[in-house]
Structure 1
Amino acid sequence: MKKTFSLSSLVLVPILAVLAACGGGGSKDSSTTPITPTPPTVTLTEIIVTPANPSITVGGSQQMIATGKYSDSKVAVLSTGVTWTAAKGNNALLKVFTNGLVTGAAVGSDTITATASGVSGSTTVTVRLPWVDVAAGGNQSFGRKADGTLFGWGSNLLGQLGDTTASDRLAPTPVAGGVTTWRQIAVGVQHTVALRADGSLWAWGRNSNGQLGDGTKINRATPVRIGTATDWTYVAAGEAHTLAIGGKTGLLWAWGRNSSGQLGDGTTVDRLVPTKIILPAPAAGGTAISAGWTTVAAGANHSLGLLSGSLYTWGNNLRGQLGNASTVDSPTPIPIGTANWVAVTGGALHSAGIRSDGALFTWGDNSNGQIGNNGAQPVLAPFQQASTTLNWLGVAAGANHMLALRADGTLWAWGANGDGQLGDGLGQDLGAPTQIGLSTNWVGIAAGLNHSFGRQTDNSLWGWGRNAEGQQGNGNTTYVAQPTQMP
């Protein structure tokens, strides 16, 4: 049987095949899978080291923190993968631990750096000595450390060092009790008063006139608390009397010897406990004043205070140390002029103060040139030192000598110098303010009877003058003619 073929069918088959290969006419899903973009890599861009530019003491520590900033703007503390280094090498000035803790090894400044993932951050750490305050009185000295501990050295005949004994100390010795909250200290001839951070008042040493304020006349070789108040703000100590400011309104209290009216209560009767001092109402009318005191100072047997910036003085006035142009004692505070003052100090029979404009004034006894006017006669009213100089920053009076600081960090001294207490190395009295050395980093001064102390910016203590009782704290009893760092 003969087969026949259709031309149309032969042509159609390859066309369908082509169409199928091109997807034409099919029902299969032709969509594609989307491509997910790769996120950018987050990198560490900056390291910040905190705290910034801290200061620590030799032996003291500071935990440093490294905080990282990232390219995605996030910030996080770096707890791992950080390397800590000191620019001058480990243990040179700083001992650096792997966790960022640094401990002061020696005085100076070093750069501490934190490094992670090739990124670094730095800050400067300054190491200072631990002394933050120094006080001198009689033939003894005290220093307070940054950790709140208190040390005394020198004469201790009546327990004035507070170490439980009556033995002189040639080097700093801790005050009994192990307290770490001492805030301010004042030193009399043979007694000591101090404040703690909680506002409580403590005293020790000689108590023959009730100058400790504990209601007795019994000497104390360890600190005893005076009353129960916790709002004391400032204390000062004279030869055998004590002054203090307390309360939110600045109340003035006084106790101890009062033979010349140095307590200011209108009598000459010794007081064995803190007694509030009230200024009587003016004769011309007005009201009595009891508040507003901001600072006080005690000379041997006279007192000075600032009441709302105004200067008041009272007590013994044998050589014009009250500054009221007379030599008559005053048993109550009397105003001296109308100027505003910022600092006052009292010596044996002379006084000094700094006015609010930085001018320095002295008055009273001048037998050793302590007034600074190149004379020897007493001055009964405030005399301005170097009238063109208005940058006096601090002043301290010894028995018959003066110390002062200027704002440029220089140290000045004048007056009695028989024990080298002026620090010029010559031992001769000076009748005018004289710069001692060339240093410009003095920040604190203190004057005892015949010895002196200063503190520099690195918190080092420097002493000079009498040392027969060990008041220089250098381990011996040889007098020191020029400022010498205490070991």
Structure 2
Amino acid sequence: MADVTETPELSPRNPAHKIVAVAAGEAHTLALSGDGKVYSWGRGTFGRLGNGSQSDEKFPVPIKWDNDGDLGNEKCPKFVGVAAGAYHSLALADDGSIWCWGYNTYNQLGFEGENVSVPRQLDMLVQLNSPRSLGDDSEGKSKNPLKVCAIEAGGMMSLAIDNLGALWMWGNIPQQRSPDDDTFTLISVPDPVPMFDFYGHTVVKVACGNEHVVALVSAGEKHIGDDLVCYTWGNNNHGQLGLGDTESRSHPQAVAQFSEGSAWRAYDVACGSFHTVVLTLKKQPSDTLASVCWTFGLGENGQLGHGTTQSTSLPEPARALPENAYFVSVDCGLLHTSVVSSAGEVWSWGMEKGLGLCPDVSFSGVDHGDAILPLQFSCNGSNFPDPVEVACGAAHTVLVADDGYKLWSWGRGRSGVLGDGKVSDSYSPTMVLWPPLSEDFSDGLNIESKKPKEGGEKTEVDEKLDSAMEEMKLLQSKLSVMERYVSILHGSLFAKPFEESDIPASLIESDSFDVGKAWQGMLEAADGKELRRLEMFYGNMLDGVKDKIMKRKIQEIVREHLQSSSTTQY
């Protein structure tokens, strides 16, 4: 017989609303949902949001798609990846096509021309073949059509990895000056060019900063086991290539610490403006799955996490991180770094308390200054549940957790980049409005979106819907604040984070809740360690209350005495 007291499922999770990828630019954020749609919010300058406008957005909005044929497709493709440069954006479709929008001064969109505010397909890659297939003709084999399987974006450049493991680059990319001159320089390239340096190998992962690139490449032709080698090239004025000097390179060179014969297996990389992060595991045999976070390059704002503001040209582990943690994601902002562990621990370090904020924010006293060692950020005092991915913009951080169904952000809030409906900075994680209200609203009412009348005029229904949407956005923002308050209160009462499963069936069914009974149940389930912690916690609270009562009584006695003294005649 089923337990009738079991808490029912409040509402089934919609896989279409699950966030499967997130990316952050200078002041904008991209999110990819489970149904293959791309959403954006934050600063709209240069058209980086892809919604056909240059206006800022304080909440997630879908990228604009023109079904009239201007984009060459009858319908919006299903997207499987997103990437954000400083002022431009990329999206990868399931057919391998790349769509770009935003700033294009350096041809980082893959074509020559002006900025664009709606997605435009990168046509050139469709016409090319992977450099890995160029040798097939000699054996009478047909060329393999190129299909991109991963994308990345840096300051003013874009990158892609195709299905055969070849790396392509375009935009403001590092190249040698001429065939006879190997001097490093940056060249604006509108058409994607392949990195022939990796011919015969498989590029597995790539990251790029302002002017340098880091790639994890197979030692052999195919990626097998622990064989990845870390290569770096580009600008090296701060040692961000990790090669022990500050000499720039126009061609990839292996980092000795993460080469084929080293004891460490690199599995993830990230780049800030002028610093680099590499996540590694001990190569087999290893008894534990514990990560080491290596950093190198510019360190003047503490973004290396070494406990100093010194730069370094060789990889060194970031200090003060948990020894046995496995990091599932890492990313860098302009001058800060963030990692998240499988246990939901989030650590950040660098400019202005690891938030990436400039020193002119309202910190003061002990709160002021850059974080030269990792600082932990929590979800209402606890670890984030089921973490997925962390992404860093120039001065904001975004975290996908709860298995992809919730989104948090913190840092600089200008232009609405935090997605919480505000434009103020947030020094602690705040909930992003997700899923977008527009979809929930239209789905719930079963109303199809209506195009404005000819001449750009909106119908009365459109205006009412817009008004209702604004009211619902404000309501959702208030609900987000209430959820944080409830979580803090619940944690104080019951010594654990608030989850939907904690809502008692009695409250759902009859709008009543016995706090005393719930408290008794929590005490019965607590072990000795938890009970001692509760005793100390609530003992301190009780002492504080008693102290406050005593002070109030003393104040009343003094007040009465002063009043009686003032009325006494001498």
TM-score w.r.t. the length of structure 2 is 0.59
Q: 1:396 aligns with which of 325, 328, 331?
A: 331
Query: Matched residues in 2 for 1:274 and 1:380: separation?
Result: 30
For residue 428 of structure 1, report the CA deviation from its aligned partner.
Answer: 3.4
**Within the alignment, does 1:93 sit opposite 2:10 as a pair?**
yes
Aligned partner of 1:191 in structure 2 is 88
**Equivalent residues in 2 for 1:43-62, closer than 5 Å:** none
In structure 2, the CA distance between the partners of 1:167 and 1:278, relative to structure 1 (3 Å rule), is: same
**SS at the partner of 2:400?**
strand
In structure 2, the CA distance between the partners of 1:419 and 1:179, relative to structure 1 (3 Å rule), is: farther
**Equivalent residues in 2 for 1:81-480, closer than 5 Å:** 88=7, 93-94=10-11, 104=13, 130-177=18-65, 179=76, 181-214=78-111, 216-227=112-123, 228=126, 231-248=147-164, 250-258=165-173, 268-279=186-197, 289=199, 291-308=201-218, 309-337=228-256, 338=259, 339=262, 340-357=265-282, 358-386=291-319, 388-389=323-324, 391-417=326-352, 420-421=355-356, 426=367, 428-437=369-378, 438-441=382-385, 442-458=387-403, 459-480=405-426
Q: Tell me if the contact between 1:236 and 1:296 (Cα under 8 Å) persists in the aligned partners.
A: yes
For residue 414 of structure 1, report the CA deviation from its aligned partner.
Answer: 0.7
Of all paired residues, the percent bearing the same amino acid is 28
User: Is the strand fraction higher in 1 or 2?
Assistant: 1
**Max Rg structure:** 1
Query: Matched residues in 2 for 1:293 and 1:342: separation?
Result: 12
Query: Matched residues in 1 for 2:354 and 2:294: separation?
Result: 25
User: Is the helix fraction higher in 1 or 2?
Assistant: 2
For residue 130 of structure 1, report the CA deviation from its aligned partner.
Answer: 3.1
Q: Structure 2 unaligned runs (5+)?
A: 66-74, 128-145, 219-227, 283-290, 358-362, 434-570
Aligned partner of 1:57 in structure 2 is none
Q: Tell me if the contact between 2:328 and 2:388 (Cα under 8 Å) persists in the aligned partners.
A: no
Q: Tell me if the contact between 2:409 and 2:430 (Cα under 8 Å) persists in the aligned partners.
A: yes
Residues 247-303 of structure 1 deviation map (CA, whole Å, 9 limit, x = unaligned) = 32x0011011136769x9976422101001111xxxxxxxx7354101100111111
Q: Structure 1 unaligned runs (5+)?
A: 1-45, 47-84, 95-102, 106-126, 280-287
Query: Matched residues in 2 for 1:419 and 1:384: separation?
Result: 17
Aligned partner of 1:55 in structure 2 is none
Range that drifts further, 368-377 or 171-180: 171-180
Query: Matched residues in 2 for 1:150 and 1:128: separation?
Result: 12
For residue 104 of structure 1, report the CA deviation from its aligned partner.
Answer: 4.4
Q: Tell me if the contact between 1:320 and 1:379 (Cα under 8 Å) persists in the aligned partners.
A: yes
For residue 378 of structure 1, report the CA deviation from its aligned partner.
Answer: 0.5
Query: Matched residues in 2 for 1:198 and 1:300: separation?
Result: 29
Aligned-residue RMSD, C-alpha: 2.8
For residue 467 of structure 1, report the CA deviation from its aligned partner.
Answer: 1.2
Q: Tell me if the contact between 2:166 and 2:199 (Cα under 8 Å) persists in the aligned partners.
A: no
For residue 157 of structure 1, report the CA deviation from its aligned partner.
Answer: 0.8
Q: Tell me if the contact between 2:325 and 2:342 (Cα under 8 Å) persists in the aligned partners.
A: no
For residue 435 of structure 1, report the CA deviation from its aligned partner.
Answer: 1.8
Aligned partner of 1:283 in structure 2 is none
Q: Tell me if the contact between 1:443 and 1:455 (Cα under 8 Å) persists in the aligned partners.
A: yes
